[in-house]
A and B are shown apart, each in its own frame.
Chain A
Amino acid sequence: MASAAAVLVLTASACAGGGSSSSSSSASSSRAANAAAITKPVTITFDEVEAAGSLKTAMQSAVTAFEKANPKITVSLTAYSTYGPLLTAETAQVAAGKAPTIGQAYESWAEKFATSKVIVPISSLPGAASTMTTDLSTFYTGVQNDLKLPDGQVWMWPFSKSLQVLFYNADLLKADGITSTPTTWTQFAADLKTASKNGVVGITIDPGNATEGVTSGEEWLEELAASNGTQVYTSDGAPQFTSPAVVAALDYLVTLKKEGALATGTNYPGETALGAKKGLVDLSSSAGYYYEQQTVGGKFPLTTTVLPSGSSGSADEMAGANLVVFSSATTEQKAAAWKFLQFLSGPAEQAAWSAATGYYPVTSQALTEPAMASYLKQNPWVSTTITGLNNAIVDPPYSWVTQCGIDLSTAISAALSGTSASSALSTAQSACTTAKSNA
């Protein structure tokens, strides 16, 4: 009786899960490829994380502008507070056969969605085949590469990309006699040490955990390793956590901690410390710009700079989720979705989006848009750092990367709690390798 019930539920969810009917989409798409005009009213749903503050208002303005230009299309937004609930919701809806039309997704999620055949390649969207390549070429190189999965096809579309930047307390810099912001990691460490006195800790980071997902602390480790010469993953997604460059990167953090120049916390602790004048600098996503300003509240001027370099140059990690289109959407919805994707990634909207949120525009054509003019003037760091989108590092698009990221976060907190960096990383290495082989 138990197995019958299980089969019942299993069948229900299997039927609901969309089965393996992906072959139909490619057939219909080649026919509908040029039929890009929307003739009947259509509603598309979009699951995203632009849930508060300037993100929310910017997204709503984007939708209003799009609907005005495309009167037959309605975009229905559902916002989630962070990526965790977003993934749960997208998964649950796909499992129930009620996936949204468009959803935000990290590269690792997209890979799982693609191999499970619940999303469609962008080229298969009605209207995309003819213009996709041209549109792609307008994006920064790093962004272009980020949209592909291991099979080489473009499965995602960009609209909110960020790089890491450093936010300094300009008053503290002056008070500590630091006349120019550091350009090397060695100098950075020295400056942090100088600043760490009288209740000030140079920098506070969040190593990350399973609840929070990707954090700046873990990204910093990846950037340090890359600037030492070796990235934490190979392009096939294999971990290289025990390579000397990565160990040296973790040792760098451990030394900072030992010297009292580094503290840990959760929930954007660097921002809180900076705002309380208890930190010299915060390493954060550029999209945190407005949050930083709010927390600082005008108590002191902020100096924003690019990351320093290591022995092999400088490395910055690109972050921000992409957009995917789910296969259960109807042909009309997919056509409308393509129009929306084009709109969001176009120069005009990217300029407005970037100026409102602190994300970088994904295309350089946005920099000359009027909407960006005053923002660029007030924030010169944007123009100087944006070319980083061409060669930013990014985690390879494999589903096991999520687990490996958590393993790295664990290694960081282990090392900062006293375990040796090499043994912490070797634990992470074997856990990640297991995850990769199980996938």
Chain B
Amino acid sequence: MVRTAAMPRWPAGRRGVAPRGRKKAWRWLRRILAAAIGAGFVFPFYWTFVISTDRPGQFDSFPPVLLPQWDWANWSRAWALAPWPRLFLNTVFIASCTVILCLITSTLAGFAFGVLQFPGRKALMALTLSVLMMPQTVLIIPDYVLASDIHWVDTYWIQIVPWGASVFGIFLVRQFFVTMPREILDAATVDGAGRMQILWRIGVPAVRPALVIISITVFIASWNSFLWPLVMTRSESIQPIEVGLSSFAGANGTDIPGLAAAATFTTLPLIIFFLLLQRQFVRGALSAAGSIR
């Protein structure tokens, strides 16, 4: 048996060999099953859209109306109830800044934990991991007091900086560094490069898939945040979109079609963003997951 190195390969399976008879049937069965399951997962989104375009009196009919009615009255009503364009811009700005900050802190800390050796490293790593384990609802009042003391309440700062470090991001970058062959980084020392240069010139490009994943997941998480900005901000001029949605839901809770419209147009940009980038994301995620050993 020829020993070949195990290389990450996508997709798995033999190439160039035409599937025969029974295999072909299995393949089609798989495709049908995959399509059905995918459709099932996506169905609630479709349903939201249908409700949002229902004519008055249809959303609560039984049996339910399953096809979109293309009545946009709910959309215009929901649109008028909050300054959505402003909230949307706020969200994009906040999410983008958070992503940039996370990339910086994750790369630096991932490098520190994955490559460098220094006293206290294990303790810092354990501390970082433990950050995930405290429920946010108790931290929010002391955080508010802190935010107030540094005059960050009702600002963009308070929505960006506290989220500018990601445990997931740090450990992901660390993972890449740990499984990276030593020679890659060592090559840089030939030219007498300093540590930061090694990181910048060699390290960062080498962990690119991790950075792509971090960008996408942090952007999504920032877009989805609602409890923190709800407490920390009160001006619509700087609030993000999910606060707008939850306020809308709290105040107009029984207007289901309007709610569905609002849910659709607050989620649609994110879905489009994700669909455009999903190939990079999946590719990056796969190589990241493949490096978990």
Q: Within 8 Å by CB, do A and B touch in the complex?
A: yes
| A contact residues vs B (CB 8 Å cutoff) | 9, 12-13, 16, 51-53, 78, 80-82, 85, 88-89, 91-93, 95-98, 199, 267-268, 271-272, 275-276, 278, 291, 294-295, 297, 299
Is the pair A82, B144 in contact by a Cβ cutoff of 8 Å?
no
Is the pair B254, A297 in contact by a Cβ cutoff of 8 Å?
no
A-B contact count (CB 8 A): 80
22 A-B pairs with CB atoms under 8 Å apart are: A12-B146, A13-B142, A13-B145, A16-B148, A51-B247, A52-B81, A53-B251, A78-B234, A81-B246, A85-B230, A89-B231, A93-B148, A95-B144, A96-B148, A96-B149, A97-B148, A199-B62, A271-B254, A275-B254, A291-B254, A294-B255, A297-B56
Residues of A within 8 A of B81 (CB): 52
Q: How far is the CB of B154 from chain A (nearest CB, A)?
A: 10
Is the pair A92, B140 in contact by a Cβ cutoff of 8 Å?
yes
Residues of B within 8 A of A96 (CB): 144-145, 147-149, 153
Is the pair A276, B252 in contact by a Cβ cutoff of 8 Å?
no
Is the pair B247, A81 in contact by a Cβ cutoff of 8 Å?
yes
Q: Knowing A12-B145, A275-B60, say if A92 contacts B234 (CB, 8 Å).
A: no
Is the pair B141, A81 in contact by a Cβ cutoff of 8 Å?
no
- Assembly CA distance A268 to B60 (angstroms): 14
> At the interface, yes or no: B162 with Cβ under 8 Å from chain A?
no
Is the pair B60, A272 in contact by a Cβ cutoff of 8 Å?
yes
| B contact residues vs A (CB 8 Å cutoff) | 56-57, 60-62, 81, 140-142, 144-149, 153, 230-231, 234, 246-256
Q: How far is the CB of A380 from chain B (nearest CB, A)?
A: 25
Residues of A within 8 A of B61 (CB): 276
Residues of A within 8 A of B251 (CB): 51-53, 81-82
Nearest 5 Cβ contacts at the A-B interface:
A81-B250, A52-B251, A96-B148, A276-B60, A92-B144
Q: Return the contact of A98 from the options B60, B62, B148 (Cβ within 8 A).
A: B148
A52-B248, A272-B254 known; 6 new pairs, CB 8 Å cut-off, are A12-B146, A16-B148, A16-B149, A51-B250, A52-B252, A80-B250
Residues of B within 8 A of A98 (CB): 148, 153
Residues of B within 8 A of A51 (CB): 247, 250-251
Residues of A within 8 A of B230 (CB): 85
Residues of A within 8 A of B60 (CB): 272, 275-276, 278
Residues of A within 8 A of B247 (CB): 51, 80-81, 85
Residues of A within 8 A of B141 (CB): 91-92, 95
Is the pair B248, A81 in contact by a Cβ cutoff of 8 Å?
yes
- Assembly CA distance A40 to B81 (angstroms): 36
Is the pair A88, B231 in contact by a Cβ cutoff of 8 Å?
yes
Residues of B within 8 A of A81 (CB): 246-251
Is the pair B57, A297 in contact by a Cβ cutoff of 8 Å?
yes
Chain B residue at minimum C-beta to C-beta distance from A272: B254
Q: How far is the CB of B138 from chain A (nearest CB, A)?
A: 12
Chain B residue at minimum C-beta to C-beta distance from A292: B254
Q: How far is the CB of A322 from chain B (nearest CB, A)?
A: 20
Residues of B within 8 A of A82 (CB): 250-251
Q: Return the contact of B250 from the options A85, A97, A278 (Cβ within 8 A).
A: A85
Is the pair B56, A268 in contact by a Cβ cutoff of 8 Å?
no
Residues of B within 8 A of A95 (CB): 141, 144-145
- Assembly CA distance A95 to B144 (angstroms): 8
Q: How far is the CB of B255 from chain A (nearest CB, A)?
A: 8
Is the pair A268, B57 in contact by a Cβ cutoff of 8 Å?
no
Is the pair A268, B231 in contact by a Cβ cutoff of 8 Å?
no
Residues of B within 8 A of A295 (CB): 254
Q: How far is the CB of B184 from chain A (nearest CB, A)?
A: 38
- Assembly CA distance A13 to B146 (angstroms): 8
- Assembly CA distance A275 to B56 (angstroms): 11
- Assembly CA distance A146 to B163 (angstroms): 44
Is the pair A92, B231 in contact by a Cβ cutoff of 8 Å?
yes
Is the pair A268, B234 in contact by a Cβ cutoff of 8 Å?
no
- Assembly CA distance A95 to B138 (angstroms): 14
Residues of A within 8 A of B145 (CB): 9, 12-13, 16, 92, 95-96
- Assembly CA distance A51 to B246 (angstroms): 12
Residues of A within 8 A of B144 (CB): 92-93, 95-96
Residues of A within 8 A of B146 (CB): 9, 12
Chain A residue at minimum C-beta to C-beta distance from B254: A268
- Assembly CA distance A385 to B147 (angstroms): 48
Residues of B within 8 A of A272 (CB): 60, 254, 256
Q: Return the contact of A12 from the options B56, B149, B249 (Cβ within 8 A).
A: B149
Q: How far is the CB of A105 from chain B (nearest CB, A)?
A: 17
Q: How far is the CB of A56 from chain B (nearest CB, A)?
A: 8
Is the pair A268, B253 in contact by a Cβ cutoff of 8 Å?
yes
Chain B residue at minimum C-beta to C-beta distance from A55: B251
Is the pair A89, B254 in contact by a Cβ cutoff of 8 Å?
no
- Assembly CA distance A271 to B254 (angstroms): 8
- Assembly CA distance A294 to B77 (angstroms): 13
- Assembly CA distance A78 to B248 (angstroms): 15
- Assembly CA distance A21 to B35 (angstroms): 67
- Assembly CA distance A275 to B257 (angstroms): 13
Which of B60, B141, B231, B250 has the largest number of chain A CB atoms within 10 A?
Answer: B250
Residues of B within 8 A of A294 (CB): 255
Residues of B within 8 A of A9 (CB): 142, 145-146
Q: How far is the CB of A220 from chain B (nearest CB, A)?
A: 18
Q: How far is the CB of B253 from chain A (nearest CB, A)?
A: 5
Chain B residue at minimum C-beta to C-beta distance from A81: B250
- Assembly CA distance A294 to B56 (angstroms): 11
Residues of B within 8 A of A89 (CB): 231, 234
